[in-house]
Structure 1
Amino acid sequence: MLFRERTDVGKAKELFLDEIKSMDRTEQLPATSSIGRVLSTSILAPRNVPHYRRSAMDGFAVRSVDLIGASPTNPVMLQVSDEVMESTCAPVNTGDYVPDEADAVLMMEDTISIGDMIEIRAQVHPGKNVGEIGEDVRKKEIIFNKGHFLRPCDVAVLASLGINDVKVYAKPVVAIVPTGNDLLPLPGDDVLPPGKTLDINSLMIGEYVKKWGGIARYCEIVPENKQLIEEAIKTNLDADMIVVSGGTSVGDKDYVPGIVEKLGKKLVHGVGLSPGKPTALGVADNVPILCMPGYPAAGLVALFAFGKPALRKAGNIPDIPDTKVKATLSGKIMSREGYLSYARVILEGDVAHPLMTAGAGILSSIAKSDGFVIIPENVEGYEEGNKVDVVLIE
């Protein structure tokens, strides 16, 4: 498989992302349905939290001046009452309203009940165990900035402020165009004809698109025909991104990169990625197009390397770092110098067992693995016993 030129992954990604414009479409959603979405406006607090002085402890609301000098050897006696005044106190639980006349809360542990009186063996300073108005959130304070990725804890904060609806960016629509004369749609028969394979790539791509915050638009399988492939791409230029699976190599029927160049601009064809060298990147009518290899494992690596960051930029979705764990290699991993290599490994505690370092068409090797060891272009593999970062497969 020969390419006239091979672009390193970092440069290819930079060229691709530079062509992508972040969407400005927005929608209004109930706050309770906004987890995993991105705010398109900043949110100001409509009120204080708490909006009243509240107790931080179970105990008694008191005037601190009445407890001056209290100690185990010099206890102070107060009357338990519904009101707080000189020489009286009021019972409160955590979160209860603290009467205006009280300036502190005495912990239950520092008292002994004697009938309707309490014996106090500790003094408190003003403000002790009292949550002041606005202590958590001040009215008109910026709670979340535009571009914030909403998590479950964030939605709980919104609920505490009485915010029922939020404005978020719309999800980017990703059109998935499978190509190949050998493909059959899912679900497949028990026995496939010789030379035929199921279109599992569309399913894989679509599930990752949804996981990463997009909407998958599944297209029918397109035969290896220039006109039909071109028409399929043109039909989907209303999407925010297009992923074409297959037809990206340098064979007589690998039409996709040339069609992208005809419709717009081919940025890259052939990258220093292993597996995934036949990847092509381009843009047409301001729509980014990822042309990934038809071999599932190579296609998945291309999707991780280019599709994920492209989708996130298009959808205004903050970049979330990969989840990595440290591990020790149980065997040697080979790589090709000049290629960013994704080696599959199985984790067993803090040991990484190399599963397969070749085989771009074998998707099951990824399903069997726990993650990738990503080997830089200038490194010729890793030896047994090396400490490595394992990027967990989502």
Structure 2
Amino acid sequence: MVSVSVRKHGLAVAGICVMLLAGTACSDTEAGGSSGSGTTQSSGTPGASTTPGSSASPSQNPGAANVAIVPAKGASAVKPDQPVTVTTTAGKLKDVVLKDDDGDKVAGSFNTEKTQWTSLPQLKPGASYTVSGSAEGTDGASVPISSTFKTLKATKRLKASVAPLNGETVGVAMPIQIYWNNPVTDRAAVEKRLSVKTSVPVVGSWHWVNSMQVNYRPMNYWPAGTKVTVNIDTLGVNAGRSTWGVASRQISFSIGKSVVTKVDVKKHTMYVFIGGKLARTIPITAGKDGFTTRSGVKVIMEKFVTKRMDARTVGIKPGDPEYYDIHDVKWAQRVTSSGEFIHGAPWSAGSQGSANVSHGCVGMSLKDAQWYFSQTLRGDPVVVTGTTRKMEPGNGWTDWNTSWSTYKAGSALS
């Protein structure tokens, strides 16, 4: 039909084609970018380059494969979050390969009829891509597929750092934490590229702490023994303000046994539950007046067999009656960013179980501290009660101090 129309109304159709090309210049490129196709455009696919069957045009041989590729051949500013499509109007696509100048392939899939192939919308910014493959028309003739294009360059590059570490075994309260190297403006676009898979059903939610961090936690503690895989498919994502994802990554970790600790500051006692059963009751001392231990759900962040504790790190200087500098604190486990630890404290043995004399830490005998250290993992919860001083948001891993409804509301997709 197209070839007949051209013969009868050549000038009119040429004018329409110019309008169509102008109207589709942004369909697969950044504004201001050149499509640079250098080939004829497909009459049915805006911004597409075509590969006609051998020497015959579609109108002369309806059975010849006529392949259209989007973006157009030679396009120079293609958006990395746009899929690449290869379509044939006759026959089937036999194979399609999309790879960048480093030789890395982009995954894609065929439709049921194998008349269209669509890539994942995950291209590298500032890269050159080649489309290759072949199609076979209903006439049985094979037609090669060949096209090249370039993606636009990113003003800023988005990368992720993740906790926990790949392969780590962590406690039942461990939040997944993703830290971005540049601010994320389009949080929804980025969050759509994040997923969590678990070996047992778990209800959870992402929660944006700020533009540089997004966390994930379950509605309740992770079930013991759960296997977790986090997919950060941010290659090619538009994070806003010319910030584009330049890499995807995947991490897997495991949840250990359930160890939940409850500290009652008023009773000067710590209760350790393992697998839901009380395993040990430990006499402790906590923060004295002026250094009250915070109440709330804390999470073990770091573990040290030996830790130097210098009061200068919390603003107490030498010469102050409250100053201390202990070089060999044993079995120390950090639970707040501000400096609260659970550790062995032989110097306060006379007060453990009866009085609070510390500068905010939870202290116990060396024997109990060593046993407790051997039971815990990074990510285990420590629930503290008995004081009016509450945990401040962000003073450690404080995800569990927010109600579930509020936490879910922190998702960009809620």
Greater share of helix: 1
Fold agreement, TM-score > 0.5: no
Q: Relative contact order (alpha carbons < 8 A, sep ≥ 6): 1 or 2 greater?
A: 1
Shorter-chain TM-score bucket reads under 0.3
- The TM-score normalised by the length of structure 2 is 0.23
